[in-house]
Structure 1
């Protein structure tokens, strides 16, 4: 098989690259690409609540939350079997309900290997108390 060994540096880089691509797709409101990336049973946790895949796609498509830019400061990946946990410390520029906001977050992304593809199973935002000075 051509896929990187789970837990290897190249598998971790694959997850990092996929996460960065996800932020781009979210900024572009590319729900077709995100539909394919998000696991059918994915869960999304935001400051204002939590919901599943279909609602997240609708929120992105409608611009209810427009993820304009995620400035990534730190990233780590831990792979356990067919599951990868990625942590990003970011400053997120978003438009929420028509208002532009910037918040520092620790974002937890959980990916699961499904057949040959990684699927995003969970995306959770934890707002940090201090602003980023990077």
Structure 2
């Protein structure tokens, strides 16, 4: 009897945990527009790793903002930090990514593990990165990029 009760409780707890982890996550295939912005985001991570500041300067809106663990700043400082090597985004392992498009605005959430060199020190951190893009004249521009450090790399979002 005791074993049956314990098994029933475990089944209920497992079901509840499974249900709660899927809430807020879309289970559908991205639309064409969502896939376009997800692909652009992946290119952005490549450009950051390659220190391709010319492409990044075109992608970043002049009024864009960047929020890091150590502060926040605008487009010019972000481009200069990347160009100078103040932050070298060596590799972003993307565990999951999702896009929501509202009118001409796209909001992306990326669950990543970032390998970077900051101030000469190589560091690896798990982040949820929020990206906001605005479509103007048929072209996506990055308006905001924010890093939120999380405790578990690759965990559910």
Structure whose CA Rg is larger: 2
TM norm structure 2 = 0.78
Higher strand content, 1 or 2: 1
Out of 111, 133, 141, the residue aligned to residue 111 of structure 1 is 133
Deviation at 1:132, TM superposition (A): 4.0
> Does 91-100 or 123-132 show the bigger shift?
123-132
Q: What secondary structure is seen at the aligned counterpart in 2 of 1:20?
A: helix
Q: Higher helix proportion, which one?
A: 2
**Within-5 A mapping of 1:74-113:** 74-113=96-135
Aligned counterpart, 1:59: 81
Gaps of 5+ in 1: 1-7
Q: Does 1:40 align with 2:80?
A: no
Question: Are 2:127 and 2:153, in contact at CA under 8 Å, matched by a contact in 1?
Answer: no
**2:144, 2:136 → 1: CA distance?**
14
Listed one character per residue, the Cα deviations across residues 18-58 of structure 1 (whole Å, up to 9, x for unaligned) are 00000000000000000000011000000000000000000
Query: Are the equivalent residues in 1 in contact too, given 2:112–2:153 (CA < 8 A)?
Result: no
Deviations along 1:64-92, one digit per CA (max 9) or x if unpaired, are 00000000001110000000000000000
CA distance in 2, matches of 1:132, 1:96: 22
Aligned length: 126
CA distance, structure 2, for counterparts of residue 78 and residue 96 of structure 1: 31
Q: Which runs of 4+ in 1 moved over 4 A?
A: none
Computed over aligned residues only, the root mean square deviation of the Cα atoms, in angstroms, reads 1.1
Q: Where does the alignment leave 5 or more consecutive residues of structure 2 unmatched?
A: 1-29
What is the CA–CA distance in structure 1 between the aligned matches of 2:76 and 2:121, rounded to whole Å?
A: 23
**Counterpart among 125, 130, 134 of residue 152 in structure 2:** 130
